[in-house]
Structure 1
Amino acid sequence: MAGFKHPMAYFRLVRPHWTIASTLAVMVGILQAWSEGYSHVGLASLVVGAAFIQHAVMEVWDELKDYSNYRQNVYSEVAQPPTLFSGGSGVLTGRLLTVPQVWRFFYTLLAVYVVVLGGIIHFVGWRFLLCVAAGMFFMFGYNSKLKLSYIGLGEFSNFISFGPILVCSAYLALRLGASPATADATNWNLLGFVSETVLVESLILGTIWFGSLHIQEMLDYDEDKAGNKRTLVVRFGKTYASRVPFVTSLIIAALAAWLVVDDLAFAFVLPGVLLNLVETAMFMSRWRDAEYFMRKMKSFFVYRNFVLTALGLVVSYGFRDMPQAAGTAALLALFALTAITSLPALSFLAKNRVFTFARAA
């Protein structure tokens, strides 16, 4: 079929409820670079666009791989439907699009991504391809021939992808591209350009994701075990998995405290961090209650807390002592870019009651 028909099917295919995770993560890295004096609105826009497209590519790729492995039906009973975040987009299993149509869409997204990436390299240089290579390794390695998710590395893959890679890559793009004179073009050791603050921010976001994936995998435990998918939850059991989010929330709280001590403006991140701490503690004590477990899965509270924490980091930059070079108008433009990439996904999540907070016992 020529062209792209059924636009809503393609919109559903990229699973917009996930894209906010990528765009907010890169915005944190961009704003940290901005606070250090590395400002460039055009380059920042390209980085956000690249993150959005790369995430869409990942979702379409996973849809194709999941469909080819016949692993879409998490639940076959109507009484236990898949949650919002499980079982793929349902575009292929629901016959909304054909496999050739999805493959054409995948290659189109890749072509657009290459064009946008070319624009970033124009500003930053070829060194940025190291960040791209790292991102691609974990993105395609998750469900491809490497099958990191099948050998107990899927949780780590998500931790590093949605934390250090996204946040630090965005930071490096701005630092290397906005002020070329300050960056040695012959130095390929990109880790040497990463500041302590942006590293801590990336660890906070990655650690939240690491904990949230354990809860998701508790839901998929039986299917993963039957399919020989050796996730950490399959290896160590549900009791282990129920404790991980609380342990990670303690680590996140400690990292957030480090940020606040460094700059009081980071206090905006504390509500999301504390909410995550309280809810993960409650989950650890009540997860055996089937009704409670399914209610929490339908709201997927840890993912919601990831969004709130990331938004807290973004908002905090409005109250930091930004360099004069950044410019008020440019900074406002950057916050507008954050809103453009975040609000559609937040609206989608709200309609699906993902932001439904825990009810009293």
Structure 2
Amino acid sequence: MTTKLIEYPNTKLWMAAIKPPMYSVAIMPIWVGSAVAFAETKYFHSAVFSTFIAAAIFILAWENLSNDVFDSETGIDKNKAHSLVNLTGNKSFIFWLGNLFLALGLLGILAIAWWQQDLTVVGIILLCCVLGYMYQGPPFRLGYQGLGEIICFVCFGPLAVAAAYYSQTQSWSLMSLAASVIVGIVTSLILFCSHFHQVKDDLAAGKRSPVVRMGTQHSAKLLPWVGGSIYVIVGLFVILGIFPVWTLLSLLSLPFAFKLFRHVWQYHNQPEKVSNCKFLAVEMHFWSGLLLGLGFMLAAS
């Protein structure tokens, strides 16, 4: 169970609530999709890329803040010291701050659409936002049914990578779709890992996450198979000629993957010790995504 508020120094609480490392989750799909576009076209629109990155960060901030609000309504966060709603004691403020971030993010996406004179990217990102709301928002709360990882895969994989690719090329690509599978899987792992330390709270609130359904031991056994699959997929796509050889650079992130797998297996049933595993998953996500995108960029040079 999550440690109570008075047991944390205030600064650490705020950093845990804001979760700065998690925002790489917003950046990597844009990076990989844009890198694939550069590999195929030798063209890179830096203004579109920068605007998309900023917009993605704002939209993820909305997602995180609104999730805190929605979770406060179910009682699942009553023991979560680093909930922004619990820290501020002002659910309404957090709700409207989140909506402000959403508006800023959508303004960035609209700017891209204006440059392109094409609303396609707007449509894709609006679909992501709708799915993001359905993840925790009433009356859907699909995350409580154990569907969060699937939504995460779709939004941060095929949809986000396709949107990033289209923002650079105004076209579609088999290579970007293939790359989006890898980004989607490793992003879903972050959400999957976030459940290990809160099984009691999830059960009490009726949240049937995959870890709750399978138990921590079986979930810890499954993690290396799912996480390791991204490296198998990269190798397979290189062999099939879908990816350039340079994308094998992503294999250099394997130490971060092994670190995550070992940690979760060792501490899967010890909430206080396993609670940081989502940040180990973020490390794996960051380095695998960064190196994958770099492989595409180098292939174009």
TM range (shorter): 0.7 to 0.9
Bigger CA radius of gyration: 1
- Counterpart position of 2:91: 99
2:134 maps to: 141
- CA-CA distance at 1:275 after TM superposition: 4.1
Q: Is the 8 A contact 1:20 1:307 kept in 2?
A: yes
In structure 2, the residue matched to 1:319 is 298
Question: Is residue 2:88 matched to residue 1:109?
Answer: no
Which residue in the other structure is 1:329 paired with? none
- CA shift, 1:249, in A, is 2.5
Q: Which moved more, 1:43-52 or 1:252-261?
A: 252-261
Please point out which of 305, 308, 312 is paired with 2:287: 308
Q: Distance in 1 between matches of 2:211 and 2:159?
A: 24
Aligned to 2:249: 268
Residue 124 (structure 2) pairs with residue 131 (structure 1): yes
Q: Distance in 2 between matches of 1:308 and 1:32?
A: 17
1: CA distance between counterparts of 2:44 and 2:182? 24
Residue of structure 2 equivalent to 1:66? 71
Report the RMSD for the aligned CA atoms in angstroms: 2.8
Determine if the alignment matches structure 1 residue 30 to structure 2 residue 34: yes
Question: Are 2:250 and 2:289, in contact at CA under 8 Å, matched by a contact in 1?
Answer: yes
Q: Report % sequence identity.
A: 17
In the superposition, the TM-score normalised over structure 1's length comes to 0.70
Output the amino acid matched with 2:134.
G
- Number of positions where the alignment pairs a residue of Structure 1 with one of Structure 2: 283
Structure 1 residue 274 displacement after superposition = 5.5
Q: Which AA in structure 1 matches 2:110? A: G
Q: Is the 8 A contact 1:242 1:283 kept in 2?
A: no
Q: Hey, what's the Cα distance between the residues in 1 that align with 2:81 and 2:295?
A: 34
Structure 1 position 257 matched with structure 2 position 240: no
Task: From 173, 179, 183, give the equivalent of 1:201.
Answer: 179
Determine the structure 1 residue equivalent to 2:149. 155
Higher helix proportion (structure 1 or 2): 2
- 1:156 partner amino acid: I
**5+ residue gaps, structure 2:** 1-12
- Aligned residue for 1:94, secondary structure, equals helix
Aligned ranges 1:1-361 → 2 under 5 Å: 14-37=18-41, 38-74=43-79, 87=80, 89-95=82-88, 98-124=90-116, 125-145=118-138, 146-176=140-170, 193=172, 195-261=173-239, 262-273=243-254, 275-276=256-257, 278-279=258-259, 282-283=262-263, 285-287=265-267, 290=270, 294-299=272-277, 300-322=279-301
Any unmatched runs of 5+ in structure 1?
A: 1-8, 75-86, 177-182, 184-192, 323-361
Contact 1:249–1:273 under 8 Å retained in 2: no
Distance in 2 (alpha carbons) for counterparts of 1:12 and 1:275 = 21
Q: Is the 8 A contact 1:30 1:171 kept in 2?
A: yes
| Structure 1 CA distance for aligned equivalents of residues 188 and 104 of structure 2 | 30
CA distance in 2, matches of 1:28, 1:10: 30
Distance 1:235 1:138 in 2: 22
1:119 & 1:311 partners in 2: Cα distance? 26
Shift of 1:141: 0.8
Give CA deviations for 1:303-328 in whole Å, capped at 9, x if unaligned. Answer: 21111111212332442224xxxxxx
SS of the residue corresponding to residue 220 of structure 1 reads helix
Change (3 A) 1:301 1:260: same
